[in-house]
Structure 1
Amino acid sequence: MENDVTGAIRAALLRGDYVPRQRLIEADLCEQFGAGRSGVRSALRQLATEGLVEIQRNRGARVREISFAEAVEVTEVRMVLEGLIAARAAERVSPAQAEELRAIGADMARAVADGELMAYSDLNARLHRGVRDIAGHETANQVVERLRAQVVGHQFMLSLVPGRARASLPQHQRIIAAIAAGDPVAAETAMRDHVASVGEALRALEARQERAS
């Protein structure tokens, strides 16, 4: 039951149901998720270890706010791990899995052509999840998922930046082609280049917001 509560609150955080620095009131969470107070407290402690929540002495829990600088650091770590995962996926990919990745890539191209930014964002997440599933590197997958969860808000902002989807599409196509070809070196390079570009886009977005403020 406690794992169910943790998963439910985590999913709500990742959906953006709560804003950064918002207080997470135990009584409200108990009512919302149909859980006891001990289960909610345990969930909040677990989510604090994942970097999604911070628990303040005598003030309770709140949604942790991630700075742009921290988001860039997280992205730098992801670059290394996701490169490893892409290389592993290229070594393990089956013809059916390669075809599935190509299909996702085709859907991504159509979403860009149609200006469907939210659909592209969903397909982006699906592609990266598919690569992780093919790689089957459980330790790396778990670490990447935790890191990704911490910066989901920043990535959502990036997905709405004009031209971002069009710029990232060929990067994703390179990743798909390398994995489908069974080329681990090319797959790792393509993935690292892509994630590095995410860090650069985050820096540019921060600079843009600072100029506007």
Structure 2
Amino acid sequence: MPHDERRPARAANTAVQVRDALREAILAGEYLPGERLVEAQLCVRLEASRFNVRAALQDLAAEGLIEVQRNRGAQVRKVSMAEAVEITEVRMVVEGLIAGRAAERVTDDEAIELDEIGLLMRRAVEAGEYRRYSDLNQRLHALIRDIAGHQTADRIVETLRGQLVRHQYMLSLVPGRPQTSLPQHERIIAAIRSRDPQAAETAMRTHISSVTEALKSLKSLSYA
């Protein structure tokens, strides 16, 4: 996305605020894999000092979202398809844990919210609104993490998710993928609503395992 077309960023006066704002922009796809992150431009966009921008870039490099190369500056890190598969395998374990924890902690109001998102996802698939389905998918997984309240696991998933933005977009374009994942999400919702931790963990692991297989099929088709 050209720099002048990006949405205005919120003012970020500390290194932590700069880091969070940049992470949010990368997760939203505002900066593409391989795109340079020019310090001077970031200072203007985020209304931050050069020192805080550099500190934020170092933090994001430690998270694996960007690369900082000597004499070349920072850029959004490119993730190979093979690495994307490995990252998703780790997600399977961590998000399985999160789903199980969510089943132990879910309230009646949260169960209703899960149902509402599931219904919206079904309507989106039936209407062929796959971009909306993808957005609802992210919303569902975020809600499950919120319900679980496992801060360490949540941070791990957010870091891993940021490295997979490009591959998630490619998956959303695969014909039939939403129709495959919808019943998987519905089983996750049902297990959490039933307050069955083992079933919830199994349903989540099964779902993300299918994501891994879909990524492998993309690799074999040379989508990457």
TM-score relative to the length of structure 2? 0.91
Name which of 55, 70, 80 aligns with 2:83: 70
Matched pairs, number: 211
| Cα displacement (A) at 1:91 | 0.9
Write the letter of the residue equivalent to 1:179: I
Moved more, 74-83 or 155-164: 155-164
8 Å CA contact retained: 2:33, 2:166: no
Name which of 21, 25, 31 aligns with 1:8: 21
TM-score relative to the length of structure 1? 0.96
- The within-5 A match list for 1:46-195 is 46-195=59-208
Q: Give the Cα–Cα distance (whole angstroms) in 1 for the partners of residues 174 and 195 of structure 2.
A: 33
Q: Give the Cα–Cα distance (whole angstroms) in 2 for the partners of residues 150 and 12 of structure 1.
A: 13
Residue in structure 1 matched with residue 4 of structure 2 by the alignment = none
By percentage of residues, which structure has more helix? 1
2:68 match: secondary structure: strand
C-alpha distance after superposition, 1:87-135 (max 9, x if no partner) = 1111111111111101110000000000001110111011101111111
Identity value in percent: 60
Q: Give the Cα–Cα distance (whole angstroms) in 2 for the partners of residues 24 and 132 of structure 1.
A: 30
Q: Give the unaligned 5+ runs of structure 1.
A: none
Q: Give the Cα–Cα distance (whole angstroms) in 1 for the partners of residues 161 and 100 of structure 2.
A: 19
Moved more, 160-169 or 1-10: 1-10
Q: Give the Cα–Cα distance (whole angstroms) in 2 for the partners of residues 62 and 69 of structure 1.
A: 20
| Cα displacement (A) at 1:23 | 1.6
| Cα displacement (A) at 1:63 | 1.1
Instruction: Kindly report the root-mean-square deviation, in angstroms, between the aligned alpha carbons of the 2 structures.
Output: 1.2
Q: Give the unaligned 5+ runs of structure 2.
A: 1-13
Runs of 4+ residues deviating >4 angstroms: none
